[in-house]
Structure 1
Amino acid sequence: MDAYGHVNNTEYLAYLEEARIALLFQGAADAGVTTLLGQVVVVRHEIDYRRPLEFRPEPILIDTWVTGIRNTSFSLGYDVRDENTLYATAATVMAAYDAAAEATRPLSERERSWLETLRDDEA
């Protein structure tokens, strides 16, 4: 909580991270794509705060989708909301990463194909 009684802006990054983990690690693994686990890094975040979010026991929904796919990276879009209110929109750029080489790597065809199933350029 911040001084105004709202969820602190930095907490939104944690919310986005939880949504990304569910999508990229659990969702991808369920689809048989395990190479994204631990092999992607955040390159950029962008958040537009639409309305103050106050503490509440009810869950917040985070819709997440793919907005773009490139050679070594992809972009995600998010809506942070409940059933009635949009609190924030956000975007993240992720890069496929080879830890041994300490460098980005091309997305595999299997990764690209799975990411494409989540793509919504108009959302």
Structure 2
Amino acid sequence: MTTRIFEGGCLCGHIRYRLRGPVAFPHTCSCRMCQKHTGALTASWVEVDRDAIDWTGPGEAPATWRSSEKSSRAFCPACGSSIGAVDDAPVVALLTGTFDKPHLLPLKPLSHSYKGQRPRWWHVTIDGA
């Protein structure tokens, strides 16, 4: 886990966040729920402690939609951008593409979940995993 300050938000800037703490479990996922949530065949995520994130934009916290028994999907109510997922556990999973600097090394995925749910022609390669 890496401790650092990260910032990010939605497409229109209505939802913004500042993360002051470590990111954990940087990974990609090809499950059908992630595909439907993002509109992409694979989503890239990191997990953060709920208490380490401050919602700094004018919209404050994102809107949520209950997607499973343990989690809700987070999105901007103004522009519709997917932000991530707010779990019942004290975890917020943020989509890597919402970070202002998604290229930073602590955000690099280390594993890939639900490979079997991706189309056979879609391949995800994670260096070192």
TM, length-normalised to structure 1: 0.27
> Larger Cα Rg: Structure 1 or Structure 2?
1
Higher share of residues assigned strand: 2
Of Structure 1 and Structure 2, the greater helix share is in 1
When normalised by structure 2's length, the TM-score is 0.26
